[in-house]
Structure 1
Amino acid sequence: MLSTFMKSIAAVLLFSPALLLANSHTDKNSVPEKLGFVEWVVMEETGLRLKARLDTGAKTSSLHAINVEPFKKGEEEWVSFQLPLADHKDQDDADGAEVDDVILEFNLPVERVVKIKRKGASSQRRYVVIMEFCIAGTSHKTEFSLADRGKFSYPALLGRRFMSDDNILIDSSDSFLAEKECEHKSLAELAESHAD
Structure 2
Amino acid sequence: MKDEPSKLPTIGWREYVSLPDLKIPAIKAKVDTGARSSSLHAFEMELYRKDGLDYVRFKIHPVQRNDELVVEVETPVFDIRRVRSSSGESSVRPVIVTVVELLGVAWPIELTLANRDQMGFRMLLGREAMRGRMLVDPGSSYFGGKPKRKKVKRKP
TM-score normalised per structure 2: 0.81
Which structure 2 residue ranges, 5 or more long, are not aligned? 152-156
AA in 1 matched with 2:60: L
Contact 1:48/1:187, CA 8 A, preserved across alignment: no
Indicate conservation of the 8 Å contact 2:64/2:121, yes or no: no
Pick from 68, 71, 79: which aligns with 1:112? 79
Please point out which of 28, 32, 36 is paired with 2:8. Answer: 32
Residue identity (%):
28
Q: How does 1:174-193 map to 2 (within 5 A)?
A: 174-178=140-144
Matches within 5 A, 1:15-30: 25-28=1-4
Q: What aligned pairs does 1:22-171 form with structure 2 within 5 A after superposition?
A: 25-28=1-4, 31-45=7-21, 46-84=23-61, 87-89=63-65, 100=68, 102-118=69-85, 119=87, 121=89, 123-165=90-132, 167-171=133-137
User: Are residues 176 and 31 of structure 1, via their aligned partners in 2, closer, same or farther at CA, if it must alter by over 3 Å?
Assistant: same
The structure with the larger Rg is 1
TM-superposed deviation, 1:26:
4.3
Q: Which amino acid aligns with 1:108?
A: T
CA shift digits 1:152-195 (9 cap, x unpaired): 11101111111115x211111221123xx59x79779xxxxxxx
How many pairs align? Answer: 149
Q: Which runs of 5+ in 1 are unaligned?
A: 1-24, 91-98, 189-196
CA distance, structure 2, for counterparts of residue 159 and residue 171 of structure 1: 14
Instruction: Please state how far the C-alpha of 1:148 moved relative to its aligned partner.
Output: 0.5
Task: Describe the shift of the 1:29–1:154 C-alpha distance in structure 2 as closer, same or farther (beyond 3 A).
Answer: closer
**Residue 88 of structure 1: CA displacement?**
3.0
TM-score (norm 1): 0.66
For the structure 1 residues 187 and 162, does the alpha-carbon distance in structure 2 shift closer, same or farther, using more than 3 Å as the test? farther
- Tell me if structure 1 keeps the 8 A contact 2:83–2:93: yes
Residue identity opposite 1:75 in structure 2: G
